[in-house]
Structure 1
Amino acid sequence: MARRLIKPRPWTPPPLSDPGPTGPLTVARLLPTGGRGPEDVVFDHDGRIVTGLGDGRIVRIDPATGDRTVLADTGGRPLGLHPRADGGVLVCDHDRGLLEVRPDGTVHVLVDTVDGEPLTFASNVVQGRDGTIWFTTSTSRWDLADHLGDIVEHTCTGRLIRRDPDGTVTTLLGELKFGNGLVLAPDESYLLVAETAGYRIRRHWLSGPAAGRTETLVAGLAGFPDNMWLGSDGLLWVAIAAPRNPLIDRLLPGHGLLRLLVWNLPEAVRPKAAPIAWVMAFDLDGRRVHDLRATDGSYGFVTSVAERDGLVVAGSLTAADIAVLS
């Protein structure tokens, strides 16, 4: 089957930020999910882990006992999650859009079109105290199975979108470089947005004198930032799915024909994500506090990380289990 053609867009990757010291990422134990692909892991208001699996199920897991409860089946591919105080969950579903799982397990579509077009690749979601919902989309051109196509062509079609309590949907930011993880500030004055293909985390102000302005909080990351979580320790925890690929970085400033050739190479020889388990944590001024990595194969392709009361857990698009980190 022929691959979809990419439309290469020139972009010069930023230089790497000061790498600084790193520490070991140690997996203390694994929590079975009963499925595969716990892409996003979050803590609910009672300290239980909630995740979505590749078969569409939303699962709640007690981290102490491993007991699992299936909350719902979205009928699609759940990605980013936001637990509500009433036991419900907001879900960014790759196939179906922005969904609401109510406490009784029923699933309702909140947003499936944006600006007159079908909502595709909804990625992560947060909700404010007044019921306002913000969510990201990664790309309007590619699906999850071919997400690397967006990285290689770099057409930047990700978005940050707001859904008001009355149902009004507004695009706040466009041209995101694969919009992904999303965190709401404790005082709800700003959002933090991971741009996976931009190797950066941005801050979008919602209120105050800078309202409407977007600035860079962390730039020049050495890897691809994915889902994020604001821990009870006050730190911004960031999953790093993979290191930057030197070949792709060399091709991105131009080389449209070469990028097209690379994209159409057989699967066995195309650039692949390096096997690593990697999480970072920053304070809310963008200063790095933790940089934890493992290459021993104990876990890999970390797409989410969350901390609560000293317990740090990680999820993966490709693994079967959730990792509890030391």
Structure 2
Amino acid sequence: MERGITLTVGVRGPAVRACRTCVRAHARVSRCVREGRAGSGRLRDEGRPAVTGARERRPGPPPCCEDGPPQPVNREARMERSGGGLVPLAYVGIGGRGPEDVVADDRGRILTGVEDGRVLRLSGVADPVRARVEVLAETGGRPLGLELLPDGDLLVCDARMGLLRVSTGDGTVRVLADSVAGEPLNCCSNAVALSDGTVCFTAASRRYPLEHWLADLVEHSGTGRLLRLAPGDDTPEVLLDGIQFANGLAVSGDESFLVVAETGSRRLVRHWLTGPDAGRGEPFVEDLPGAPDNMWRDPEDGLIWVALAGPRVPALDAVHRTGPAVRRAAARAAVHAPFRPGGFAGALAVDDEGRIVHELTRRDSGFRMTTSVCRTGDRLVMGSVWESGVAVYEAPGQRTEGS
């Protein structure tokens, strides 16, 4: 059986060995490599990048540390959450590979995009035999994150084409933004729409294209960004930069802040939109049990669902604490190593206070690399950039007949 690499996405093999070899070789060449000290001036004590405002370019601690250290994770809240394994109910093939993000509409239908550029709508996920897939549009690129708009249209983050608006009626595709300050918009990842028509979205990396996402996670490039596009504008504004692979995005119930999934650092970051802290970024939930990916806000209970694409990998954490030369060497090894996800599937739900309410994981899952999650009725639906269908699981607190 071919063995792959084991990194934040739960894969196994050569790249981790390459990472370890690079670390040992670098240590022999220079005794100056120490945890954290060998990184750039923007690294925090634990080797993570500073989450800075768009205009703040000086080295130093992130804004969340200016008035004291980040708040610790609420361990008591974690103890009170619901937990346990994911209970699988069904697998629904969709006729395309890589449904990276899934969102549910008000009729329980699931919308997703696949690697050949199609945007699909899936009806009847409760019964795989009767499930029906229809093509809504073709973007000409690689659709990733989706966001339903009040009029039924879709915001689509396309890794190659940029930020798009797609009509679910006639399939018309309109480009909203494909560059930032004259630089092509690379790896547009996830978006949310505010009530005033403003669109906020993430771009995972400025350094690597989507095909080399693994190299970005290994190198820890810290070039992800959070952007904002005002109504009528075609030039996005950078709200936060220095993010380690900016991924999923959600907005609080009162629209006072955004939550960004920082995949490379296994944490969620909060960016304040209003109030005395407007413009400030700070940790929201840290030390997650896996790598956070897409997020979806449940319109019924307000919980933010976060997909976990893979478990924590200590070897990768160790590489992140080394200097940039070691990380770049490890990234080159990761690019050329075979890739195969492990059997990890996971999701968690957090509230607007940063408390983890539900945490569901499975380490022997046949459905691998869960990059998105949403709820419809008493079921959770998960997407995966690796699979050719979506998985249906039992929602926490819900029991289906016969289970």
Output the TM-score relative to the length of structure 1: 0.90
Q: For residue 83 of structure 1, what is the aligned residue in structure 2?
A: 148
Q: For residue 97 of structure 1, what is the aligned residue in structure 2?
A: 162
Paired residue total: 319
Q: Decide which moves more: 121-130 or 165-174.
A: 165-174
* Cα displacement string for residues 19-55 of structure 1 (whole angstroms, at most 9, x for unaligned residues): 8584011220012212110000001233211000111
* Aligned-partner Cα distance in 2 for 1:97–1:268: 27
* Cα displacement string for residues 226-275 of structure 1 (whole angstroms, at most 9, x for unaligned residues): 00111123221110101122212112211545434433448786797543
Structure 1's unaligned 5+ residue stretches are 1-7
Q: For residue 222 of structure 1, what is the aligned residue in structure 2?
A: 289
Q: For residue 4 of structure 1, what is the aligned residue in structure 2?
A: none
User: Where do 1:44-63 residues align within 5 Å?
Assistant: 44-62=105-123, 63=125
User: Which residue of 184, 187, 191 maps to 1:121?
Assistant: 187
- Give the structure with the higher percent strand: 1
Amino acid at match of 2:241: G
**Deviation, structure 1 residue 154:** 1.3
Q: Decide which moves more: 261-270 or 23-32.
A: 261-270
* Aligned-partner Cα distance in 1 for 2:238–2:267: 20
The answer on 1:288 being equivalent to 2:349 is no
**Deviation, structure 1 residue 173:** 0.8
Q: For residue 276 of structure 2, what is the aligned residue in structure 1?
A: 209
The answer on 1:183 being equivalent to 2:250 is yes
* Aligned-partner Cα distance in 2 for 1:178–1:238: 15
Change in Cα spacing, 1:266 to 1:126, as seen in structure 2 (3 Å) is closer
Q: Is 2:219–2:330's contact at 8 Å kept on the other side of the alignment?
A: no
* Aligned-partner Cα distance in 1 for 2:335–2:278: 45
Q: For residue 98 of structure 2, what is the aligned residue in structure 1?
A: 37
User: Where do 1:122-271 residues align within 5 Å?
Assistant: 122-167=188-233, 168-231=235-298, 232-265=300-333
Q: For residue 298 of structure 1, what is the aligned residue in structure 2?
A: 366
**Deviation, structure 1 residue 98:** 0.4
Amino acid at match of 1:60: R
The answer on 1:309 being equivalent to 2:374 is no
Q: Is 1:27–1:299's contact at 8 Å kept on the other side of the alignment?
A: no
* Aligned-partner Cα distance in 2 for 1:198–1:89: 29
Q: Is 1:158–1:178's contact at 8 Å kept on the other side of the alignment?
A: yes
* Cα displacement string for residues 261-308 of structure 1 (whole angstroms, at most 9, x for unaligned residues): 433448786797543011111222111122211122321100001123
**Deviation, structure 1 residue 158:** 0.6
The structure with the largest alpha-carbon Rg is 2
Higher RCO structure, 1 or 2 (CA under 8 Å, sep 6+): 2
Q: Decide which moves more: 56-65 or 297-306.
A: 56-65
Q: Is 2:120–2:135's contact at 8 Å kept on the other side of the alignment?
A: yes
Change in Cα spacing, 1:325 to 1:255, as seen in structure 2 (3 Å) is same
Output the TM-score relative to the length of structure 2: 0.74
* Aligned-partner Cα distance in 1 for 2:230–2:323: 42
**Deviation, structure 1 residue 186:** 2.1
* Aligned-partner Cα distance in 2 for 1:73–1:306: 23
Amino acid at match of 2:357: V
**Deviation, structure 1 residue 208:** 2.4
Change in Cα spacing, 1:267 to 1:211, as seen in structure 2 (3 Å) is closer
Q: Decide which moves more: 209-218 or 169-178.
A: 209-218
- Give the structure with the higher percent helix: 2
Q: Is 2:190–2:247's contact at 8 Å kept on the other side of the alignment?
A: yes
Percent identical pairs in the alignment equals 44
Amino acid at match of 1:177: Q
**Deviation, structure 1 residue 75:** 0.6
Q: For residue 106 of structure 1, what is the aligned residue in structure 2?
A: 172
The alignment partner of 1:35 has SS state of: coil
Change in Cα spacing, 1:255 to 1:163, as seen in structure 2 (3 Å) is closer
Change in Cα spacing, 1:246 to 1:211, as seen in structure 2 (3 Å) is same
Structure 2's unaligned 5+ residue stretches are 1-37, 49-71, 395-403
